[in-house]
Structure 1
C-alpha cells in the first residue's frame, strides 16, 4: 500500500512539473507580405513580462504551457496566441492597418480607396455592431464615430437624434441618409440592422458637397448586403435579450415625505398640523422641535374613496424589457449575377409597462451582367412595417417620480387613485398606461432603386439609377374619460391621422478613371432630379357611447367634430462634378462642384452653387520593416441648407 501511495505522489509531482515548467519560446513576426517587423511588443497575458522584436523581427521569451502571448504593434490588429506543448519556434503574421487603406468605400456617387479620401470620412466597422440588438442601426453607432453625437429617448420605438459636428442651424439639423445610392431624410429605424453591409459618415464640406444643399448637416451612407460571387447559402439569426434600468431613483416613501413636510413647516415657523394630509405628534423642548411620529389619515379624500397608501410608483410602471430579433436571408451568387432575399422581425417590449415596438422587414436585390460583363443591371427594394404602442412614456416616468406615495393606485371602488385636496395636480401614471395601451401608431415604407451600369470604353462608365421612397403612417387614438382624485375629464374623444410622403429620384453619372505611370485621375460628372410630394389628414370627434378601441371610429362620435389636412411638394434639379487626382500615391487633390436648382428657392434666385476643394500629403514613416502612414489634409467648401423638414 505504501508503494502505491508513493508511486501516486511521484506521478502528481512529475505532472505538476510538466505543466508548470517554463521554457524558451522563440519566433519571428512579419507583416502580410512576410516583411519582418521591428519593435513589436510581446506580452505574456496576465503578467508584466514583455519583450520586443529586433531588426529581423525575431524575439525570445520564457513562457509556460497554458499561458498566452499577445503581440502589439502600432498600425496593426493585436493578436493573441496560446502557448501549447508544441509551441517552440513561432511564425507570427500581423494584419497591418496600412493594408486596409486599399479597401474601397462609397463616398458619394462613386467608390474610392480609403487612402485616396481627402475629406473627413469615417468608415464604421459594421461587424462590431451586428451583435447589438437595436431597432435603429444609428443607435448602435453611439461612441463609435468621432464628432457624431447620438441621443435617444430610451423608448422601444428606436427614435434617435443625430448631430454631426454640432448644430449648424436653428431649423432641421438632421443629416442626409443615402441608402444604396438613394438619398432620403428618413432615418434608419425602418431598416433591418442585419441587412447593412457598410456605413460611412461624411462630416465636412469637402466630402459632403457632392450632395449639395441637402448635406449641410452631414451625410450617412449605407450600403446593404449582396450575395457573394460563387456562394449560395441560407443565413438565420435569432437573439433574445433583456434590458432594465441601470439605476432606480429612490424616492421618499410616505413616512419620509411626511417628515419632510413637518421639517419644512418647522423651518417656516408654521404649524405642521395645518397640513391637509399629514398630522404629527410633536413637541417643542426648549425651542427645539422634536417629531415623535407621523399620523396618517385612514382616507386622504373627503369622500373617503382613497385609503392612505405607501406606493412606490416607479415599481408600478417599470418592467424588464424583452427584445427579440429574428432574420433569415437566402443568397445565391454566380458568374453572371447574384441575388439575395431577406426577412426580418424585431420586437421590443419597453422598460415602461405597455410600451412596445414591432418591426417587419423584407428585402430583395439582384444584379446580372450582360454583353461580356460590360453591362450590369440590378435592383434593390425593401418594404417595412412598424407598429408602435402609443403610450406617453416620458409623461408616465415623470409622474412616477413626482406623484405622492400616500396616493393609492386604485380607490376602494376600483376607480383611479389621484391627488387629493392639498396636493399638486399630478397624474396617476398607472392610469396613463391603462387608458392609452390600446392606441397604436402604424408606419409603412417602400424603398429602393433600379439601375444600369454600362462600360463605354475601358475606364469610362455610364450609370443611370432610378429610386423611389414612399412611406405613410396611420394612427387612431382613443382618449378615455376619467376621474383620478380631483383631476377629471368627462369627455372622451377619438382622433384619426394619416400621412404619406413620396420621393422619386433619377440620377445619371459618367465616371472616368485613368492611370499613367505615377498619375491617377478620376473624373465624375452627373445629373440628379428629385420630386417630393406629401399629404396629411386629421380628424377627431367626441361623445362616444362606448370607450372601446374596436368601436372608436369617427362615425361613432357625436360632438365637437374637427378635421383638417394639408399637402406640399417640391423639386430639385442638380448638376455636379468631381475630380480626384493623386501622384505616386502620396500627393492627393480633390475638387467638387455642384449646382442645385430648387423650387424652394426664391423665384429670382432658384440656383445655388456649392464648391469644395481638398488636398492631402501622405507620408510613410519608417523603413520597410516598420511602416505607418500619416496623411496631412486640408479641405474647404460651402454648404447651406434648404430642407426644413422631411423629404428632399
Structure 2
C-alpha cells in the first residue's frame, strides 16, 4: 500500500520553519532590548556572590571562606571561585582571601585561574577551605579556536599555535602584526617602516604564483575582509594560527594559505572592570645610511671625475686637474693644473668637479645644507585606550574606545585612527542566547610624506632658498636635469584627503535544543566608506602648465555573510566523546566606485577639489566601477575521542564562488586527522617524558583569490578615427573585447600532509612540538601568455604545481621558578623550501654537449624566472667572479670593460655576457627562521621580557656595490666603498663602472638576527593601589627594533630593503626604533 502524501503537514512544517526563522532574526536584531530585559534583580549578583531573590537564596545559606595560594606558598589574587551549577561567584582579593555564601553545605566550589589547573572542591559542611592551585601541565586544558568552534589543546589533531595578548601587554603592540611577529613557528610576518605599521603574513612558505599567499583572517568566528589596521590590538584576547590543511579545511576554498583566528575580549564574571591604558613614545631612526657629507662630497666628486676620465685617452694624462689645487701631486705645478684657465682657483676647480654656480657660491661661503635634517624626524606616537567590561546578571559586556596617532621617521608620515568595539551577549532564557560583536574604525591616511629619496642626489652645497632668502628653490642647484628636487616641494603644493570608515558587525542567536544540540545563526554585515581627494596647485613650477589639477574619488563596499551552525557534543560512559559541526554559509559582496578629475581651473584653483566645476570642461573625466560577487558553502566536521587518548577528526566542505568559470563554480575539500596520546599508554609512562601525543593529518584546501571577472570576457568602449575617400576624417565609437573568457577556470587546490609530535618533559617544565609538513598546490591560477595572432596577450587559466615542505620545532621551558625570580624561555625554529613541480606542460628538447637531442623535459618560464625543480624565488643571473684588476685590461676589453668593473663568468666562452650565462645562485626567501623569547619575573612586581628573531639563508639585491647611482650628473650618493687603483677591492666596483652591456644584479646574503623587543614593567603593590580603589596599576617601558646583526649586509636594514628601485631607494623609508612608556590601570 502506498503511503499517502500529507500536503497539509508539509505546509504546516514550512510555516513553522518560517515562523522560527523570523523569531530568531528578530531576537538577534533586538539583542540590546533583550539584554536590557534580562538585567533585573531576579538574577544572581556576582559581585556579592549572593542572589537574594532566588528561591535557593531563601533557603539556609552556608558561608565559606578561605585563602588561595600557589604551590610555592604565595597568595594568588584574582582567582575566580564559583558555586558549581549556579551563577554565584567571587574573586580572591590581593591576599588570596575569599568569602562567599553557598546555597547549601553540600555545594561544590570551582576554583579557576589562567595557567592553573581548575579545581572542584565539595564543601561538605566546611566553613573554611584553603586551596593550593597547581600549574596546568603544558596548558592541555587551555582552549584554542579551530574554526567554527573551540577545542582543548589535549584534543587537537591538527597543527594550531596560539598567542595570548596578556603575554604581550607590557610590550604595547601597535598592530596585529606586532602581536604575531616572532611568536609562531612557520609564520612569516612582514616588516613596514610606515607610521601605520603593517606587513604581510605568510604561513609555511609561498604556495602560489599569481595570487596572494596571505592567510585567511577570521575575527570572532566570522571571515574578516577589512584592513588589519582597523583591529585594535588592545581588544585582542587570543590569536590562533591554523597551519595544516585539516585544521583549516573547514574554511575550504579560502584556506589554502592557512587561517589566522582573532578572538576579541569579552566581559568576565565579577564586578565591572574599567581599564585604561595610555602610552606615549618616539620613533627614531634605527638605521641611517649616510650620504657624503659636505667636504667628503668634494673628495668623492674628485674620484668621480677621475674614474670617468681614467680610460679616456684624451684626458687620462691630466687627471691631476681634478685634484685640490692646494694639495697637488708631486711634480705637478699650478700652471700645469690651470691648463690655461684663469681666475680664482676655486672658480676653476669646483666646476671641473661638476659643481654648479649655486654650489660654488655656498662652498666659498662655507654654508652647506644638511638635507637629512629636513626629511628625517623623531616621530611622536600616542596610543590611548579605555574599556569597560563585566557580567551583570545574564548579560556579558565589553566596550572599548581607542585613539592612536603615530608619526613616522619621515616628515609628513602620519597615521591616525579612532577605533571602538562593543561585544554583548545576553542569556534571554535557558535555551536562547543573543549577542552582537561590532567594530567601528575611522582611519585617516591623508598625510603626505616628504620625498626623502631626493637627499641621495641633493648636493650638500645646494640651497633651499633663492637669493631673496624667501622663495623656495624647486632644485637646490637650479638644475632639475642634473640635480634633485627640494624634498618638501611637492608636499608644499599638494592637498590630500584620504579617509576610511568601516563598520563590521556580527549579530548572532544561539538556541539550545534537546539531546545536547545547539543551533547558531550568525549574520555579519560589513560596510566601508572611502574618500580620496587630491589637489595639485598651479603655483607649483612644474604643475603650473596644467592650471591646477584635482580629483575626487568615493567608494563604498557592502558585504554580508550568513552562517547557520548546528553543533552536537556528547560523551558516553566517560569514554566516547563525539563533537559534530554542520554549517551552511552564504555571502555577498558589492562595491561602488565613482571618480572624477579635472584641470585648467579658471579663474583660480585656490579651492582645489572643493570646486571641481571651475576646471576646464574639455579636461573633465568621470569614471565608475562596480563589482559584485556571491558565494556559498556547506561543511560538516566530526571529532571523535576514545578515553581522551585516541582521536580522529573528519571534515568536508563544498564551496561555490561566482568568479570561477561556468563549468567549475564549485569545489570540494575533504580532510582527516588522527591523534594518539602515547603517554597515556601504560607501557610508555615515565617520569621524564610525561606527555607525548602523535598527530597525523591530510587535507585539501582551495584558493579563490582571483579577480571577480577574470573568467569572463571584458569589453571596452573606444573611439576610432577613419578617413573617407574624399579626405574627411570621422571619429566612430567602437565596442571591442579586450579579455578572453575561460569557462573552465577553477579553484587552485592545495593538498597537505602534516605529521606532528607534542611533548612534555618533567611534568610540563619543558614542552613543545615537532612538525613535518608537505604541501602541493595544483591547478595554479596563472595568466597564460597567448600567441599574438589570437588578439589577446594572455588568459586566466589553471596550470602547474608547486611543492612546499619543511619542519618546525618549538620548545618552551620554565627554567627557574623561585619565589622572587621566575624565568621562562621559548624557542621556535622553522625551515621551508619550495619548488616548482610543473608549469605549462610544454615539452622542450634536451641536448648533450654536442647539440644532439637526447630526450625531452618540461619547459621553464625564463621570462618570469620560474624553473622546474627550483624555488619560486630562485635567482638566475650571471655570476660575479670579482672585479677586473690592473694588469687584466686586455681580457676585460673583450667584454667592453676596464679594471674596476665587475667581472662576470662567461659560461659558454662566447666573448659576451647574455642569458646563456645565467646561473642559479640561491633564493630571495629565507630558508630558516627562528624566534627566541625570554621572560623574567623579579621580586614578584617586576616583569622583563626580551625577544629576538632571525631570517637566514637568503639573498637580496645589493646594487649599491656597482657604484652607479644613476648618471654622472647626479651630485651625491650613499657612502659606499669603491674600487680605485690604490684600493683594488674585489667586492665593490669603481665609481660609475661599466657593465659591458650585461644585465645583472649584485647579490649579497641578507641573513640577519634582530633584537626585536625589550620590555620592563612594574606592578605597583596592591596594598598601595587599593587605598585609591584601584585594582591594578602597572607602569611599563618598551623598546622595539632594538638592534640587528647582519654579517654580510651593510646597506640599510636587511629586512626592510626588499624592493629597491634602480637608484637603490625603497618606498617605505628607513626602519624606526620606537621607545614607549605607559601605564595600565584597572579600576
**TM-score interval w.r.t. the shorter chain?**
0.7 to 0.9
* Counterpart mapping for 1:206-355 below 5 A: 206-267=246-307, 268-269=309-310, 280-281=324-325, 283-285=328-330, 295-296=349-350, 310-355=368-413
Name whichever structure is richer in strand by fraction: 1
> Cα distance, 1:335 vs. partner?
3.2
8 Å CA contact retained: 1:196, 1:225: yes
1:520 aligns with 2:577: yes
Indicate the residue corresponding to 1:114 in structure 2.
153
| Corresponding position: 1:503 with 2:559 | yes
**What is aligned with 2:86?**
none
> Residue 388 in 1 paired to residue 445 in 2?
yes
What is the match of residue 450 of structure 1?
A: 507
Range 114-123 or range 156-165, more displaced: 156-165
Do structure 1's residue 129 and structure 2's residue 184 form an aligned pair?
A: no
Q: CA deviation at 1:236?
A: 1.5
Instruction: Give the 3-state SS of the residue equivalent to 2:197 in structure 1.
Output: coil
2:237 to 197, 203, 215: 197
**What whole-Å deviation, never above 9, does each CA across 1:339-367 have from its counterpart, x for those lacking one?**
22221111112211122111111222211
* CA 512–136 in structure 1, closer or farther in 2 if over 3 Å, else same: same
1:163 is the counterpart of 2:202: yes
Structure 1, unaligned runs of 5 or more: 1-28, 33-75, 78-90
- The Cα of 1:118 is off from its aligned counterpart by 1.6
In the alignment, structure 1 residue 148 sits paired with structure 2 residue 187: yes
| Equivalent residue in structure 1 for 2:416, among 347, 358, 365 | 358
**1:186–1:646 CA contact under 8 A, matched in 2:** no
The Cα offsets for residues 482-507 of structure 1, whole Å up to 9 and x where unpaired, read as 667xx776333111122221211100
Distance 1:614 1:97 in 2: 24
Q: What is residue 588 of structure 1 aligned with on the other side?
A: 647
Shift of 1:433: 3.7
What stretches of structure 2 of length at least 5 have no aligned partner? 1-69, 74-114, 117-130, 339-344, 710-1083
In the other structure, the counterpart of 2:586 is: 529
Is residue 2:519 matched to residue 1:462?
yes
Q: Distance in 2 between matches of 1:563 and 1:303?
A: 45
The equivalences for 1:570-589 within 5 A come to 570-589=629-648
Residues 489/204 of structure 1: CA separation in 2 closer, same or farther (3 Å cut):
farther
Aligned-partner SS, 1:582:
strand
Q: C-alpha displacement at 1:265, in angstroms?
A: 2.4
Shift in CA distance, 307/235, structure 1 to aligned 2, threshold 3 Å: same
RMSD: 3.5
Corresponding position of 1:628: 690
Q: Secondary structure at the match of 1:102?
A: coil
SS of 1:158's equivalent in the other structure is: coil
SS, match of residue 614 in structure 1: strand
Pairing 1:98-113 to 2, within 5 Å after superposition: 98=138, 100-113=139-152
Kindly state the Cα deviation for residue 579 of structure 1 after the two structures are TM-superposed. 0.9
**Could you say if the C-alpha distance between residues 513 and 274 of structure 1 is closer, same or farther in structure 2, counting changes exceeding 3 Å?**
farther
Structure 2 match to 1:188: 228
SS in 2 for 1:155: coil
Q: Cα distance, 1:217 vs. partner? A: 1.7
Alpha-carbon distance change, 131 to 402 in structure 1, aligned in 2, over 3 angstroms: farther
Q: Tell me the distance in 2 between the aligned counterparts of 1:92 and 1:186.
A: 45
How many residues are matched? 555
Alignment partner of 1:409 out of 435, 460, 464: 464
Deviations 1:357-381 (A, max 9, x none): 1111122221111332x21111111
Aligned partners of 1:111, 1:471: CA distance in 2, in Å?
30
Residue matched to 1:87: none
What TM-score do the two structures reach when normalised by structure 2?
A: 0.48
CA distance in 2, matches of 1:272, 1:452: 85
Counterpart among 541, 566, 570 of residue 598 in structure 2: 541
Q: Which moved more, 1:186-195 or 1:130-139?
A: 130-139
Change (3 A) 1:260 1:304: closer
Give the equivalent residue in structure 1 for 2:434: 377
1:50 counterpart residue number = none
Deviation at 1:627, TM superposition (A): 5.9
